[in-house]
Chains A and B, each alone.
Chain A
Amino acid sequence: MMKDESFQKEKKSHWMSYELRGTHREKELQKQEFYTSPDPLIQKIKAGDFDRKTFLKFMGASVVMTSVGCVQKPAEKIVPYVNISSISNEGAPTEQYDFVKHGHSYHYASVCGGCSAGCGVLVKARDGRPLKLEGNPNHPISQGALCASGQASLFDLYDSDRAPEPMQIVQGKPKSSDWVVLDKDVREKIKSNAGKTVIVTKPLNSPTSKDLIAEFLKSIGGGKHLEVGFYGSESSIAKANEISFGKALVPNYHFDKARVILSIDCDFMGNFLSPVEFQRDFAKRRDLTQSNKAMNQFFAAETHPTMTGTSADQRIPLKPGDQRKFALVVARALSDLGVGGAQGVSGINLEAAIAELGISKDLVQKVAKSLADARGASLVVAGGASAETSDAIDLQIAVNMLNSMLGNDGKTIDPVNVRKEGKIDYSENLSQLSQDLKSQNVGVLFLYGVNVAYSDPLGEWGKLLHQAALVVTVSDRLDETAMVSNWLAPLSHSLEAWGDSEPVQGIVAIQQPTVRPLFATRSFEDSLISWAGGELAGSKNFYEILKSKYSKKTNWEDLLRKGVLGQANKSDKGGRSFRGNVAPLASTPSNLTVSLYASTALGDGERANNSQLQELPDPVSKVTWDNYVAISPQYSRSSGLKLNDVAKVTVGDKSLDLPVLVQPGLHPEAVGIALGYGRTAVGGIGNGVGQNAALLAQGKSPNSVYSGFSVKLESTGRKYKLATTQDHHMMSPGVLMGTAWKERPLIISAKLQDYSQNGKAGIPEPEIPKILINGKLERSKGANPPSDVPGSEFQYPGYKWGMAVDLTQCTGCGACVVACNIENNVPMVGRDEVRMGREMHWMRIDRYYIGDPEKPESLEIAHQPLMCQHCDNAPCETVCPVAATVHGSEGTNDMVYNRCVGTRYCSNNCPYKVRRFNWLEHWNEHDLLGGEHYTFKAQPPRNLGLNPEVTVRARGVMEKCNFCASRVAETKIKAKNEGRKIKDGEVLSACQETCPSGAIVFGNVNDPEAKVAKLLKDERSYKLLEYLNIGPAVSYLSRIRNNA
């Protein structure tokens, strides 16, 4: 600031007021900023009435209005998430956001729209754009985790193939229209066909929506509401419960309470009811670092190697159709062990039945014994498409019997806080609908979230639907059903609309929108309201209905803040007794039988246009971008069908041409085919990917039997190259020309009892070369030697980031992969490039088979998540000519994209091959030859979903996992502003945050209290390829299996 005297001496000085020149007042003014401005606002600021904070408040508020607020007027306020822990005395949170800062990201509690499980999520939004989904830690279902499809559901929001506006379909040709016309048409038709309105919806877990639909039907003078779901087992379970216990319901399962678990063809961590919850509960008993070493024991009897099955202690390959026989055999074996309560099994000849099953007797007895030893703390489950055999209900009854024999009912099975209650019969509903349609008995038909034309390809819905006066498909895109209906009412994404969910009785969560609808879309509920005439239940929109409803129970804003209300806390009366009625065994077809299963990634195929899911490798086969017919090695030999042969799969009079995949671990007479493929009207990415296996489904129309019927395979002589990210290699690849080498110590497995005797069971001493240090031979310390060792220039005194991956807990579900992709803008490359071996996933999950493929019983399947190991002496760094990859001051191996020339030497020299090269300009349109990958460019609105924290890489540069450097930086800034160091668990890597089994732990290894530091010291921890002495920062905890 100019000094007073100089101010006077300086002739040239610029001055503003003669009076004030050089006076005391002048100096006062100069002390304040803006002192030259005559602006009244500034006057206010000077007066202190209006400080900068207030100003920012106004600004922030306006940001809320403009960017984060929702579409309907008046603006509906949404409230950022605040962790309960920071809320004192349940209710008024200590910290609140009154405004949103531009350029900062905030989390909003909402509900995941990925599937019907209704996980509570936190949506990370920045400047009004949802960028990432995480599990809501306060939500009892998701418990802070999220599955692969949940993570990927963000991509559906930014899907360029969504319907941007209402469309009228005239003779199969869609033409753009708008809501006014649609609403008018619907209202008229409703009036003209009063009482004959039918609303078909997917299984809803939103109580308010159900009430609203009832309300709607009432207001328009009656109609039907039918729920329809596909590939699930809810119907069978409900019916079986009705028969067994007299009350139709779908109970809740508590895997965390179960010490012994027997799943009969139930992919409960992949595709059954509530995968995230079940996986999280299951993994709780696999955490060997906890003091209680009560590790659970898991038997997976399955007709097809599922992701769930891979984490079993003992896999039992079944022939499709034998599921129930197996259940009864186990029941029989139990009763032989003196466990009472068995019915209808006395007639079973154990030996004969076991022989028919094609499994060893002692295996069955092992299962029975373990179950019997854990009465009341065991759990038997069956379900999923592949369990939907012709006797699916009897299978569920058998399961109920087993559970009540073991006294699990009311302990590991919760029949009180149920998932669903009352009569649930989806296929019955569907056939009723077709009956009504045939008999011209349907006025206006609303189809919400049910793609009948695709999911039930044999139902001839194309013809049927025209029997209705008006068919309105409520869907986010012009899908197969919409094409054969009259109207498409475009649906908002769950991140664009209000809603609530109650997946389990008592657990209510609010689905909070975080962005205006990108297109002219509406939520189903809002559509209903306007079709009812603009007002329903005294409210003009669904938001008001929800708000008024929940304001009665609690503080609305706190509810939004926390996202979840209440717990499943109805105490269990347990008054259920098994009534029996176990049907006698039917014989399964002697020849090859098939099981159709819902794949882990695509499920029922609703989100087939999601490149994240299409390119997520199958947990077991590692195949992307196609479904295939999986056959056993034995059958492959006898039939001569090999990998990539195209086989004609014939069931009755229907047949499909599918590429063959030889899948170790299958029952010799089993065949598996994934459902959810072969979409024809889903969008540029998903159209024509694979074949729709539902065509092969059996049972009375509509088809309800997906497993256990005989199938015929014959070669077509054609070839089709499946895009796999991994070939099928055994753990010891050295067996080649009869030359066997030592098995590679990559995945280290041990039996539980060995482990309990020796914590380091199975972990070999790494052969690190000794070097001469201070005159004596020592194991060379590597990059970070103690200061007395020469060449100790590089210490990491501050943070040193490290990671630990527990192979005992990892289930290989792939949630981490998708989370990583979305967090780091990892491009999807498409089938052609995957075939070339050019997938860009920064993180992959290595799958290894252990054991003899000829004995599927003994075959184990192991997973190993692999990301950049951030070696202290990274081989990649030495060889980079331009120093584009160097070591950071926090022990990370940093990649400098701008400097990279693209020699790919680093990738060649990486023993883990975790580096990824940008073969293409993945994010821009430019391609002379065309080719498949063009679909994955960031065409609008996909580009809105890119994470602004992470650079989008150009063609010709190398990239790789960076330990979520962006997250670390964000947290460091936060900590710095608060003048402290980062607390342990404050910064989570994307893979860690989403992992449903908590297998991945990331943190600062310099902090002895940090979880990761403790894990690195754990006895089980070992480094991959340690003998190379490159000092990886990632440790693996050996894979313990509880198979005594």
Chain B
Amino acid sequence: MYLPKLEQFYKHKEMDEGVLGIFETPEAIMEAAEKTKEKGYVGFDCLLPFPVHGIDEAMGTPRSGLPWVTFFAGLFGCLIGILFQGLTHSYDWPLNIAGKALNAWYAYVPIIFELTVFSAGIYTVVALLFLAGLPSPSRRILHKDLTSHRFGLWIPKSAKGYVESDVVSFVKGLGGTEVTVVQPEKQK
């Protein structure tokens, strides 16, 4: 049986201190991700201009758990739809409308459906924004090409066994063209 696991709801971690390596092609970053996973730098991340397929496997991140949010939110919306229409017409405000039965449930189906879709969609997006840590316009941009045509490998200071010089050389070894050490922005 397939049940939601906590690790499926991994969050985007802010990148304030660590090492950033730039790669030129999707293939390169895939390879780099594989290596980094084997090396065991837990909590590393990649910065991609477009979703490179297969990167998740390479990085070893599990499948996102957001569909579960969709499922339960949808269920919730459906329930609201049924109860709201049924209760208003049958109990709160019973009216003789064209002599139709008070609880003419088949007339409620369209709205039940719409509410289901609405709440499913909206809650899912809200959850997405939460997990992706959006919106945060103040977030710092590590490199301007990372949203255009180059790929970044990020190893945070928090990673297990992080030793700056080792990491730098490791990333260089992976074929990172530019490797920079990122220091936290000092508060102005």
Interface: B97 (CB within 8 A):
yes
A883, B97: Cβ atoms closer than 8 Å: yes
A83 to chain B, nearest CB (A): 37
Residue of B nearest to A875 (CB): B98
The answer to whether A872 and B95 touch across the interface, beta carbons within 8 angstroms, is: no
Is B102's CB within 8 Å of the partner chain A? yes
Whether B99 contacts A784 by the Cβ 8 Å rule is: yes
Q: In the complex, how many angstroms separate the beta carbon of B94 from the nearest chain A beta carbon?
A: 8
How far is B101's CA from A191's CA once the two chains are assembled, in angstroms?
84
B98, B100, B101: most-surrounded residue (chain A CB, <10 A): B98
- Pick from A784, A790, A791, A878: contact of B97, CB below 8 A: A878
A residues less than 8 Å from B98 (CB atoms): 783, 871, 873-878, 887
Most buried by A among B99, B100, B101: B99
Cβ of B96 under 8 Å from chain A? yes
Q: Which residues of B contact A1031 (CB under 8 A)?
A: 99
In the complex, given contacts A791-B100, A873-B99, A875-B98, what are 7 additional A-B residue pairs having Cβ atoms less than 8 angstroms apart?
A793-B101, A871-B98, A873-B100, A883-B97, A886-B97, A887-B96, A888-B96
Give the chain A neighbours of B96 by CB distance below 8 A.
783, 793-794, 886-889
Query: What 0/1 pattern do residues 766 to 786 of A give for CB contact below 8 A with B?
Result: 000000000000000011100
> With A and B bound together, what is the CA distance between A426 and B99 in angstroms?
63
Are B95 and A883 neighbours in the complex by a CB distance under 8 Å? yes
Judging by beta carbons under 8 Å apart, are A872 and B99 in contact? yes
Question: Which residues of the other chain, B, contact A889 by a CB distance below 8 angstroms?
Answer: 96
B68-116 contacts to A (CB < 8 Å): 95-102
Q: State A794–B97 Cα separation when bound (angstroms).
A: 10
Residues of B within 8 Å of A877, CB to CB, are 97-98
Bound form: Cα–Cα A793–B101 in Å: 7
On whether the beta carbons of A878 and B95 are closer than 8 Å, the reply is: no
Q: List 12 A-B contacts (CB under 8 A).
A: A791-B100, A791-B101, A793-B101, A793-B102, A794-B99, A873-B100, A876-B98, A878-B97, A883-B97, A887-B96, A889-B96, A1031-B99
Residue of B nearest to A782 (CB): B99
- Taking CB atoms, residues of chain B closer than 8 Å to A883 are 95, 97
- Return B15 CB to nearest CB of chain A, in Å: 52
Contact B101 A886 (CB under 8 A): no
In the complex, the chain B residue whose C-beta lies closest to that of A883 is B95
Query: In the complex, which residues 866-886 of chain A have their Cβ closer than 8 Å to any Cβ of chain B?
Result: 871-878, 883, 886
Q: What count of chain A residues pass the 8 Å CB interface test?
A: 21
Q: For the complex, give the distance between the alpha carbons of A790 and B100 in Å.
A: 11
Expressed in whole angstroms, the Cα–Cα distance for A889 and B98 within the complex equals: 12
Residues on the A chain within 8 Å of B102, using CB: 793
Shortest distance in angstroms between B164's beta carbon and chain A's nearest beta carbon?
67
* A886→B99 contact, CB < 8 A: no
Residue in A closest to B97 when the chains form the complex, CB atoms: A877
| Chain A residues, Cβ within 8 Å of B97 | 877-878, 883, 886-887
- Residues facing B in A57-109 (CB within 8 A) are none
Main secondary structure of the interface of A (DSSP, over half): loop
Interchain nearest-CB distance for A899 vs B (Å): 11
A874–B98 Cα distance when bound, in Å, is 5
- Chain A residue at minimal CB-CB distance from B94: A793
Q: How far is the CA of A873 from the CA of B95 in the complex (A)?
A: 13
Residues of B within 8 A of A782 (CB): 99
Residues of chain A lying within 8 A (CB to CB) of residue B100: 783, 791, 873, 878
A843-885: which residues lie under 8 A (CB-CB) from chain B? 871-878, 883
A446 CB to closest chain B CB, in angstroms?
A: 63
**A705 to nearest B CB, angstroms?**
59
Residues of chain B lying within 8 A (CB to CB) of residue A872: 99
- Report whether B95 and A783 are in contact in the complex, using a CB–CB cutoff of 8 Å: no
- Interface members, chain A 1013-1042 (any B CB < 8 Å): 1031
Q: Which residues of B contact A793 (CB under 8 A)?
A: 96, 101-102
Which residue of chain B lies nearest to A871 when distances are taken between CB atoms in the complex? Answer: B98
Residues of A within 8 A of B99 (CB): 782-784, 794, 872-874, 887, 1031
What B residues does A878 contact at CB under 8 A?
Answer: 97-98, 100
Task: Give me the 5 closest cross-chain CB pairs, A-B, nearest first.
Answer: A783-B99, A887-B96, A877-B98, A791-B101, A878-B98
Q: Determine the distance from Cα of A878 to Cα of B102 in the docked complex, in whole angstroms.
A: 12
Tell me which residues across on chain B come within 8 A of A873, comparing CB atoms.
Answer: 98-100
CA distance A443 to B100 in the complex (A): 78
State A888–B101 Cα separation when bound (angstroms): 15
Q: How far is the CB of B102 from chain A (nearest CB, A)?
A: 6
User: Please, which residue of chain B has its CB at the minimum distance from the CB of A894?
Assistant: B96
Nearest-neighbour CB distance to chain B for A266, whole angstroms, equals: 48
A887 partner residues in chain B, CB cutoff 8 A: 95-99
0/1 interface trace, chain A 789-802, chain B, CB 8 Å (1 if under): 01101100000000
The CA-CA distance from A111 to B95 in the complex, in Å, is 47
Residues in B neighbouring A794, C-beta threshold 8 A: 96, 99
Q: Which residue of A lies closest to B104 (CB)?
A: A791
Query: Nearest Cβ distance between residue B26 and chain A, in whole angstroms?
Result: 53
| Bound complex: CA A104 to CA B95 (Å) | 33
Within 8 A of B (CB), among A334-374: none
Bound complex: CA A471 to CA B101 (Å): 74
A142 and B86 CA atoms in complex are apart in Å by: 56
Identity of the chain B residue whose Cβ is nearest the Cβ of A893 in the assembled complex:
B98
In the complex the two chains form, what is the Cα distance from A794 to B102 in whole Å? 10
Q: Which residues on the B side are within 8 Å of A886 (C-beta)?
A: 95-97
Residues of A within 8 A of B95 (CB): 883, 886-887
Q: A790 contacts which chain B residues (CB < 8 A)?
A: 101
User: In the complex, A957→B166 CA distance in Å?
Assistant: 79
Contact string, A692-705, partner B, CB cutoff 8 A, digits 1/0? Answer: 00000000000000
**Could you tell me the distance in whole angstroms from the C-beta of B93 to the nearest C-beta in chain A?**
8
Q: How far is the CA of A874 from the CA of B97 in the complex (A)?
A: 8
> What is the bound-complex CA distance between A900 and B96, given in angstroms?
17
Question: In the complex, A873→B102 CA distance in Å?
Answer: 13
- Report how far A875 CA is from B100 CA in the complex, Å: 11
Q: How many Å lie between the Cα of A802 and that of B72 in the bound state?
A: 52
Q: Please, how many angstroms separate the alpha-carbon atoms of A997 and B95 in the complex?
A: 38
Task: Tell me, rounded to whole Å, the shortest Cβ–Cβ distance linking A471 to chain B.
Answer: 65
- Complex: A69 Cα to B98 Cα, angstroms: 49
A883 to B93, CA, bound (A): 11
What string of 1s and 0s marks CB contacts (under 8 Å) between A744-758 and chain B?
Answer: 000000000000000
> B100-159: which residues lie under 8 A (CB-CB) from chain A?
100-102
Q: How does the 8 Å CB contact mask read for A386-409 relative to B, with 1 for contact and 0 for none?
A: 000000000000000000000000
Closest A residue, CB atoms, query B93: A883
Complex Cα gap A38–B58 (Å): 101
How many angstroms from the CA of A468 to the CA of B157 in the assembled complex?
121
Instruction: Determine the residue in chain A with the shortest Cβ distance to B89.
Output: A883
In the complex, which residues 465-501 of chain A have their Cβ closer than 8 Å to any Cβ of chain B? none
The CA of A873 and the CA of B104, in the complex, are separated in Å by: 14
State how many angstroms separate the Cβ of A890 from the closest Cβ of chain B.
11
Tell me the bound Cα distance from A876 to B100 in angstroms: 12
CA distance A766 to B113 in the complex (A): 38
Q: How far apart sit A968 and B96, CA to CA, in the bound complex (Å)?
A: 20
For the complex, give the distance between the alpha carbons of A784 and B102 in Å.
Answer: 13
**How far, in angstroms, from A782 to B97 measured CA to CA in the complex?**
12
A1030: nearest residue on chain B (CB-CB)?
B98
- The smallest beta-carbon distance between B92 and chain A, in angstroms, is 13
Shortest beta-carbon distance, A658 to chain B, in Å? 48
What is the CA–CA distance of A874 and B102 in the complex, to the nearest angstrom? 15
Minimal beta-carbon separation of B89 from chain A (angstroms)? 10
Contacts of B101 in A (CB 8 A): 790-791, 793
Question: By CB atoms of chain A within 10 A, which of B95, B97, B101, B102 has the most?
Answer: B97
Complex CA gap A877/B100 in Å reads: 10
| A650-661 to B contact mask, C-beta < 8 Å, 1/0 | 000000000000
Nearest B residue to A796 via CB reads B96
Q: For residue A791, which residues in chain B have a CB less than 8 angstroms away from its CB? A: 100-101
Cα(A793)–Cα(B102), bound, Å: 8
A230 to B102 CA separation, bound complex (whole angstroms): 64
| 8 A Cβ contacts from A158-196 to B | none
Q: Chain B 155-181 against A: per-residue CB contact (8 Å), 1 yes, 0 no?
A: 000000000000000000000000000
Within the complex, what minimum Cβ distance (angstroms) separates A907 from chain B?
15
With both chains docked as a complex, state the minimum distance between the C-beta of A420 and any C-beta of chain B, in angstroms. 58
